[in-house]
A = this chain, B = another copy of it.
Amino acid sequence: MEDTSFSAGCAWIKDKYVPIDDAAIPITDTGFTRSDVTYDVVAVWEGKFFRLEEHLTRFEKSWKALGMNPPLSKNRMRHVLHKCVEKSGLTNAYVEMMVTRGSPAAGDRDPRNFKNQFYAFAIPYVWIAEEHEQLAGLKLVIAKSAQRISPHSVDPTVKNFHWGDLTKGLFEALALDAKTAVLLDADNNVTEGPGFNLFAFAKGRLITPATGVLLGITRQTILELADEQGVDCETGILSAKQLLGADEIFLTSTAGGVMPVSSLDGRLIGDGVPGPVTMMLRELYWQAHTRPEWTEDVAYPDESKNVSSLAR
């Protein structure tokens, strides 16, 4: 029988599985009150986790970089993530895991003493841009209102919730009737946007920023797929000027995959429709979601599948 109480999503909080709408964290957890937290997001697509091992490896690197010591082993986390998806029954899911510094004991300001926490949840797959928006191509702007937080302040390779700059960029884009924004660094080079990496295709070559960005798993997947196809491809510096002259632009994220961009700051990119390199890589990206070496099956209990998420 289907457990409907988890159909909107299932979370794991303080050693218990709870429906997502009941999932809450202590208001005193410094994961909230100091954003002292790292996280990761992995997708389940058609009943299979995609590159879960790579996500867990990155996640482990992140909590270690913050000097955190989560109460669960990486293997036990993997088990919890599977269980969250199984219980939800979701075949297409957005699965998030966090390690926080935890709550201080009364009056204690020394974060070395806090008991670190692990939280996780599975909810229906999230699209930064939905299928029909992707096929039309997204309107992107270069944020003028905020510069990306410098790696000298917060390491972007340790996935974090310091999104103030990204959110400001997103609001700027929405006010301009665009879909989202990409942020520049202090040297006017392209970095990333709210939840995505960016690729440009120019002069026959694919380029994505090498530094000052999250090393996204979708980004990595595209680099590998492009390489398999013999597409010339580099990670390096991408200036705002280069971006404005690109033939194709696309965004990559676990929450949406490969998302074509059709205009930048109101100017058409290429012909103003998703370009051929973008569309090829997008197709290959979704095909890769059945590769045995990149997937692992969710063991849903009988008849519990919850195909509520939008099909692609």
Residues of A within 8 A of B (CB): 8, 11, 13, 20-21, 23-28, 31-36, 39, 67, 96, 101, 106-107, 109-112, 119, 121, 123-124, 126-128, 146-150, 152-155, 160-167, 170-171, 174, 186, 310
Contacts and interface: CB of A to CB of B under 8 A. Distances in A.
Number of copies: 2
Choose among A13, A148, A149, A162 the residue with the greatest number of B CB atoms under 10 Å from its CB. Answer: A162
Nearest to A309: B107
In the A-B complex, the 7 residue pairs with the closest CB atoms = A24-B24, A154-B164, A34-B163, A147-B152, A153-B165, A35-B35, A23-B27
Nearest to A167: B36
A112 B167 CA distance: 11
A124 B106 CA distance: 8
A174 B33 contact: no
The A interface, classified by DSSP as helix, strand, loop or mixed, is: loop
Q: Quick one: which of A121, A148, A153 has the most chain B CB within 10 A? A: A153
Given A34-B163, A36-B167, A147-B152, A110 B28 contact: no
Given A35-B161, A106-B124, A112-B174, A25 B28 contact: no
Given A20-B28, A33-B96, 5 more contacts: A31-B32, A34-B166, A36-B164, A36-B167, A107-B126
B119 A107 contact: no
B27 A150 contact: no
B149 A147 contact: no
A66 to B, nearest CB: 8
A163 B109 CA distance: 14
Contact of A24 (B27, B111, B127, B149): B27
Nearest to A162: B162
Contacts of A146: 152-154
Nearest to A147: B152
Contact of A164 (B13, B33, B112, B160): B160
Contacts of A128: 109
A265 to B, nearest CB: 19
A178 B23 CA distance: 38
A67 B39 CA distance: 26
A100 to B, nearest CB: 9
A27 B119 contact: yes
B126 A109 contact: yes
A122 to B, nearest CB: 12
A152 B147 CA distance: 6
Given A150-B186, A153-B150, A164-B154, A110 B174 contact: yes
27 contacts: A13-B27, A24-B24, A25-B25, A27-B119, A32-B32, A34-B161, A34-B167, A35-B35, A35-B163, A35-B164, A101-B167, A106-B124, A107-B310, A109-B127, A111-B170, A111-B171, A146-B153, A146-B154, A147-B150, A149-B149, A149-B153, A149-B162, A152-B186, A153-B153, A153-B165, A154-B165, A162-B162
